[in-house]
Structure 1
Amino acid sequence: MSQHTTKTPEQALAEFSPGLPFAVALSGGADSVALLLACTQRWPGQVRAVHIHHGLQAAADDFQSHCAHLCEQWGVPLVVRRVDAGHAPGQSPEDAARQARYKALSEAVHSEWPEVRDVVLAQHADDQVETLLIALSRGAGLPGLASMPAQWQRQGLHWHRPWLSVPGRVLREWLRSQGQAWIEDPSNSDQKFTRNRIRSQVLPALAEALPAFRETFARSAAHAAQAQEVLNEVAAQDLSQTGVPPRIQAVQQLSRARQALVLRHWLRQHHATTPSTAQLNELLGQIEVCTTRGHRLHLKVGQGYIERAGEHLAWRST
């Protein structure tokens, strides 16, 4: 069966081999409830659960109570973490909540279960399509078009998304077949969120016009991810030549496209920031004319500034 063919929950987990024991991020919604139930059936006694209480809506306490009830019923150890998911100026509430969630998940697993090295998340095929469409709507490059990876490493943990080939509808049908209830997040019907508008308006139209869109979009995302891996290798090689921090003259020897590539790579890998397209174009323009010893360079990029420090570019956070 092709890697990107739509699967049932059982088929998806049959191809999934996490390190044991492992933790499941449990929100209480259908997707994560299906994940926890399927994992406890397949790996009894090897599953832990972490619930993140965001405190963003009145239903948050109901989600926590539901998760506690399920874990008690299935004999799964549960840890609850409360987070402040307030967003900074210029940051979307969704991004702020996501970052707070990952940080809390990591800290909970490290502190409560030092033996756990794998964390499993419940995003599914529809979530992947929504991520790709949002990236397209924002004019994203390859990193955005690659959408969500099926697995990656962060903060000393291995993260997995085994549901990426399973549509949300299939997960809900499977839960009903198991006689298992879940809680619907009230915010899922709020049309002010782009994801919800895509889910309610765009996905049904795509299903009618392009029945295989989940599989074909997943293939496109996988192609973008593969191409980005190659570009990351090129950027790492170029950065080893330009140095860290990069030497201005060495950067100037590269083509403009590779200059952009290596500067994005430097900022992302060493300073955890990503310049906008406009910021990067301005930076490239300033580097191009930086040919005299007295030429100054000072530019807002991401969450800080890039300046000239002698023969090098320097980063200063705000």
Structure 2
Amino acid sequence: MPNPFNPAHLLANWSAPAAPRLWIAYSGGLDSHVLLHAAAQVRSHLPPLSAVHIHHGLHPSASAWAAHCQHTCAALEIPLHIQQVTVQRDGGVSPEAAARVARYAAWETLLQRNEQLATAHHADDQAETVLLALLRGSGVAGLAAMPTIRPLAAGYLIRPLLNWPRSALLDYAQRHRLRWIDDPSNANPDYDRNFLRHRVLPTLRERWPSAVQTINRSAAHCADLTSWLTEQSASVCASIAGRRPNTLSINGLQQLPLATRRHVLRHWLTNYGFLPPNHAYLQRLATEMLTPRPDANPLVHWTGCEVRRYRDELFALRPLPPRPPASIAWADVSQPLVLPTELGVLIAAPALINSAPIQVQFAVSLLPSLRCYLPNQPPRSLKYLFQTAGIPPWLRAYIPLVCNQHGLISVAGVSYCHAGAGIITWRDHPWSQFGWFVDNSHLTFD
């Protein structure tokens, strides 16, 4: 084989920044064993090495595989961390997809600031990823497949073997007489990736011997275009930002061509950590979400994300929590009140301590008679307060209304409603990224 793989090539392909530690993702299989062994040979030129093995517990031999990894790492004098995970298979998710989610969650927890995690993805894996993206109808971001380096939690995920085919890694393993684990599930053609690996790619190579290289060259072109589109989309996002932080102006979006609008929306969502919507959802966001009926309250939602609008602004947020109970007692006002359904914490001003008993109400629709009374001001309805503060209707049922026996004394984070109540601080609520509910002393009335 011309130019066989060797550890020096590993260094030549290393593009990651300096790091306090380099973790090798070590499954015990051929690819990760080659990566581990090669890194051990050039460890003096790398950050301090450790290995991590994810024990999925899906195979009867899983514990034996972990023991094999422990033995190999001991022989190479590389510390090994074995992390056992629980693979959740809810919602019809395939075993391989569920295992991947569990694996990445464990890695994200493991990585400390600026640490690196190296995986053994190689050129054949990259070609399979491109083909899977094509079959799913992905855009250029999906067709760019796996980047050589990307952020992962507090550190970085790096893939130093992406330019090398599996045949080169097999040759290295045989020359160095490595012993690796063959997971029988990797031969099961019922899994999409395995079907491509064992049935499709060999057929493509028979007709086009350089199929993997040319497929991956197309992925590199898509990666370049994705990088450019990201820069352009970030610039447009900044130019059409809404008045509230992290929002987009609906009027600004409407001025964009439809194709640009879709790219900008996708960038906006992924930039804030949401899974990108599929084509149908993205099309809805770019069209019907921007031009609803005047009395409509439009919502587009998919896993982990809800997109809503209010006035001229588009909001992307985590799904709203369950509705809280209509009323809860604040028995000891001198202590913070932990609100239900992860709505955060209320902290009372000292002036409120003598106002007991205190009730916190949430059912806005059941409390039309509540009024906010301030000195030298006419009574204000809750609707007036929310409209003045720019609080959308879909959020109002979650806002704590602090009451005593005389009535409303504070709308947490919006306005105090009794001169002697002082400020009610609302902390750790889910919507701080939009600048809402910072305190309840800023609201002024005309």
TM-score, L = length of structure 1: 0.90
Deviates more, 1:241-250 or 1:95-104: 95-104
Mapped to 2, the partners of 1:305 and 1:264 lie a distance apart of 13
Asked whether 1:305 is paired with 2:303, we answer no
Residue 30 of structure 2 corresponds to which residue in structure 1? 30
Asked whether 1:49 is paired with 2:51, we answer yes
Mapped to 2, the partners of 1:90 and 1:274 lie a distance apart of 20
2:13 to 16, 23, 27: 16
Contact residue 276 and residue 302 of structure 1 kept, 8 A: no
Give the aligned residue type for 1:37. H
Mapped to 2, the partners of 1:208 and 1:72 lie a distance apart of 41
Give the aligned residue type for 1:121. T
> Structure 1's 48 and 56: CA in aligned 2 closer, same or farther, altered over 3 A?
same
Q: Percent identity?
A: 34
Residue aligned with 2:308, SS: strand
Contact residue 23 and residue 50 of structure 2 kept, 8 A: yes
Flag the structure with more relative contact order, 1 or 2, with Cα contacts below 8 A and sequence separation at least 6.
1
Residue 277 of structure 2 corresponds to which residue in structure 1? 275
Q: Deviations over 1:139-175 (max 9, x none)?
A: 1101110001111222121221111111112211211
Asked whether 1:119 is paired with 2:121, we answer no
1:226 to 208, 224, 227: 224
Uncovered stretches (5+) of structure 2, i.e. residues with no partner: 320-446
Residue aligned with 2:316, SS: strand
Mapped to 1, the partners of 2:262 and 2:43 lie a distance apart of 46
Larger Rg: 2
**Equivalences for residues 199-238 of structure 1 within 5 A:** 199-238=197-236
- Superposition deviation, residue 289 in structure 1: 2.7
- Superposition deviation, residue 33 in structure 1: 0.5
Q: Which has the higher helix share?
A: 1
> Structure 1's 99 and 224: CA in aligned 2 closer, same or farther, altered over 3 A?
same
2:286 to 265, 272, 284: 284
Contact residue 81 and residue 108 of structure 1 kept, 8 A: no
**Equivalences for residues 1-318 of structure 1 within 5 A:** 8-10=5-7, 12-17=9-14, 19=18, 21-43=21-43, 46-89=48-91, 91-110=93-112, 117-243=115-241, 244-290=246-292, 293-318=294-319
- Superposition deviation, residue 90 in structure 1: 5.5
Mapped to 2, the partners of 1:304 and 1:277 lie a distance apart of 15
Uncovered stretches (5+) of structure 1, i.e. residues with no partner: none
Contact residue 265 and residue 286 of structure 2 kept, 8 A: no
- Superposition deviation, residue 43 in structure 1: 1.3
- Superposition deviation, residue 105 in structure 1: 2.1
Give the aligned residue type for 2:235. Q
Mapped to 1, the partners of 2:315 and 2:125 lie a distance apart of 38
Residue aligned with 2:146, SS: coil
Residue aligned with 2:147, SS: coil
Deviates more, 1:77-86 or 1:305-314: 305-314
Give the aligned residue type for 2:106. A
Contact residue 111 and residue 153 of structure 2 kept, 8 A: no
- Superposition deviation, residue 302 in structure 1: 4.1
Mapped to 2, the partners of 1:145 and 1:236 lie a distance apart of 20
Give the aligned residue type for 2:117. V
Give the aligned residue type for 1:8. F
Residue aligned with 2:163, SS: coil
Give the aligned residue type for 2:150. W
How many residue pairs get aligned? The number is: 309
Deviates more, 1:171-180 or 1:44-53: 44-53
Deviates more, 1:217-226 or 1:154-163: 154-163
Contact residue 149 and residue 161 of structure 1 kept, 8 A: yes
Give the aligned residue type for 1:240. A
- Superposition deviation, residue 132 in structure 1: 0.5
Give the aligned residue type for 1:209. R
Residue aligned with 1:23, SS: strand
CA RMSD, Structure 1 to Structure 2 (Å): 2.2
Mapped to 1, the partners of 2:82 and 2:251 lie a distance apart of 52
Mapped to 2, the partners of 1:223 and 1:304 lie a distance apart of 30
- Superposition deviation, residue 288 in structure 1: 4.7
Residue aligned with 2:248, SS: coil
Contact residue 248 and residue 287 of structure 1 kept, 8 A: no
Contact residue 79 and residue 108 of structure 1 kept, 8 A: no
TM-score, L = length of structure 2: 0.65
Mapped to 1, the partners of 2:9 and 2:94 lie a distance apart of 32
Mapped to 1, the partners of 2:24 and 2:196 lie a distance apart of 27
Contact residue 308 and residue 315 of structure 2 kept, 8 A: yes
Deviates more, 1:143-152 or 1:153-162: 153-162
> Structure 1's 91 and 242: CA in aligned 2 closer, same or farther, altered over 3 A?
farther
Mapped to 1, the partners of 2:109 and 2:285 lie a distance apart of 37
> Structure 1's 109 and 261: CA in aligned 2 closer, same or farther, altered over 3 A?
closer
Residue aligned with 1:152, SS: strand
Mapped to 1, the partners of 2:285 and 2:119 lie a distance apart of 37
